Amino acid sequence: MIISYQGAQSFKVQFGDTVLAFDPVSKKSEFKANNFGADIALISTNHPDMNGVDQVSRGDKQAFIINGAGEYEIQGVFIKGLPSSSGYDGEKRINTIYTVNFENMNLCFLGALGDAEIPKETKEGIDGVDILFVPIGGNGILNASDAYKFAVSLEPSIIIPMNFDEKSIKAFLKEGGDEGVRPIEKLTIKKKDLEGKEGEVIILEAQQ
């Protein structure tokens, strides 16, 4: 599996010929929108920074769009959408947390989560997380301190922060005593690579 960060909350996750897009950035966003073809696009929040479905279909390849709670199975990928809330950009919004079972690894994408006090049924739906994507930038989403505490409570093997600036990433790393962590271009990982990892923070450089 190869994971690359596209900026804001956008990630490209690929294994073989299957490509997933998490929160692709819209052309209407102030963030740069990276166009790449995807088989499945998962949208956590209805905002131009996160719902660029126009950016993930290419030629005859039309992405299957998931933008809310429910259970899905597409091309051998098992996905659960779980309800939560966000205050992103100063407005109360519905946010969907996604758990994805992909190539025998469990990914959890928190989207634009604004409150660590999530519904009981949502918390129960998050189980056995291998790789966790967590927003840390504050301003309607989790701040660095709350994000770190919530991330650790889910006991993931790997934590990947998103939606951050220099100040928030420093604060997030300080929370975990991981201030020596340096960004990498992309994460290439297999299930066996997760053995022995407990809450390891990995920072990915945004692709330009």
Give per-residue pLDDT as tens, 160-177: 999 999 999 999 999 988
pLDDT > 90: percent of the chain? 76
Mean pLDDT of the chain: 92
The reported pLDDT for the residue numbered 120 is 93
- Which residues are paired to 10 by β-bridges? 7
Q: Is the pLDDT of residue 188 over 70?
A: yes
The two structure tokens encoding residue 198: 């407990």
Q: How confident is the model at residue 70 (pLDDT cuts 50, 70, 90)?
A: very high
Q: Is the pLDDT of residue 19 over 90?
A: yes
The reported pLDDT for the residue numbered 35 is 75
- Residues 132 and 158 sit within 8 Å (Cβ to Cβ): yes
The whole-model pTM stands at 0.95
The reported pLDDT for the residue numbered 208 is 66
Mean pLDDT across 193-202: 94
Q: How confident is the model at residue 141 (pLDDT cuts 50, 70, 90)?
A: very high
Is the pLDDT higher at 187 or at 61?
187
The reported pLDDT for the residue numbered 182 is 92
Count of residues making up the chain:
208
Give me the domains of the chain, ranges plus CATH numbers. Answer: 2-201 (3.60.15.10)
pLDDT > 70: percent of the chain? 98
Q: Is the pLDDT of residue 67 over 80?
A: yes
The reported pLDDT for the residue numbered 44 is 97
